[in-house]
Amino acid sequence: MSPGSSMILYLISAGNLVSGGVSWSVASHNNGHVSRAQFRQCLLSNGLLSSNEELYALEQRYNDELGFHYFWFLKEVEPKRYEEPLYNAYSEEMKRLNCRETKRKSLDRERDIVEILAKIKGHVVRRGIRVIEFLEQFDPHNQYCVSREDFSRGLDNCCLQLTPTELETLMSIFASSMRRDYVDYRRFCETVEEAVTQACLERAPLIDHDRAKCGTVPKGSLLQVLSIGGLQDALSGREIEVVAKCFALERGLRDEFNYREFCKAVDLLQVIVKRKPF
């Protein structure tokens, strides 16, 4: 396109000379063409004064054997509607789906009793508190259950940072079988205490044998710890060998006992198997 025709197209576009605002009724054959004179007349009637050089440039571009091709002319003059790239819509949809999936996973974790008890155990172990001391004050008659409101108030005093969904899950699982809208706080506290007791197995004395702080200890250290805890006599040699093999982790040129994974498994069993709160 020549510089002259580019300039006039810009001026015409700026003057809003579009098919919706300009009448092309001079086109008698409805074939998309008008004569040169009719084209110039249309420009004048819309107040668009162009130099001869600009008109010549336009006619050189849009004229053909039928006359002035105003269909082509309008197609280039009319402003094009901006269309968002398809990738933008795809990106927004993926963000929405990922956000929904994240919320769903978060909600699932808040309803998982094992996850909730592990969270409580972490707070209790780090702060060295006993949850029962915050709940038994609401049970002056030693009935081993408190109202849902008092249970929530007692856990708030513990600063366990539980979400409303996690709290509701606890109150549902440890609901009293004898009184409606009451929570069996004694059963809840016993479950937490058992989990904390198992955590002590990791903190001491097993962790004392882990000088490299790598989460494993020699098999001899396992036997020594079991002996100190009075568990060696309760287990047969074959049972101890099975446990050591199940949690063996190759370290250097020998197999060591992965006590961290062992303690996690014991925590899980204490919650699921022994008490079966759910």
Rounded mean pLDDT of 211-230? Answer: 78
Cα Rg of the chain (Å, integer) = 41
Residue 151: pLDDT above 90? yes
Lowest mean pLDDT among 15-24, 95-104, 154-163, 192-201: 15-24
pLDDT digits (tens, 9 = 90+) for 14-53: 334 444 444 444 445 567 788 878 878 877 777 777 788 8
Nearest to 160 by CA among 216, 118, 201: 118
Coil, helix or strand for 162?
coil
pTM, two decimals, is 0.40
Query: Residue 71 corresponds to which tokens in the numbers above?
Result: 């269909």
pLDDT of residue 139: 92
User: DSSP E strands: which ranges in 167-229?
Assistant: 182-183, 216-217
Length of the chain: 278
User: Per 3-state DSSP, what percentage of the chain is helix, strand, and coil (rounded to 5)?
Assistant: 60, 10, 30
Residue 105: pLDDT above 80? no
Apex 25 CA angle, 64 and 30, nearest 5: 50
Query: Residue 118 corresponds to which tokens in the numbers above?
Result: 């592990």
Coil, helix or strand for 175?
strand
pLDDT digits (tens, 9 = 90+) for 45-104: 777 777 888 888 888 888 888 888 877 877 777 666 666 667 777 778 777 767 765 566
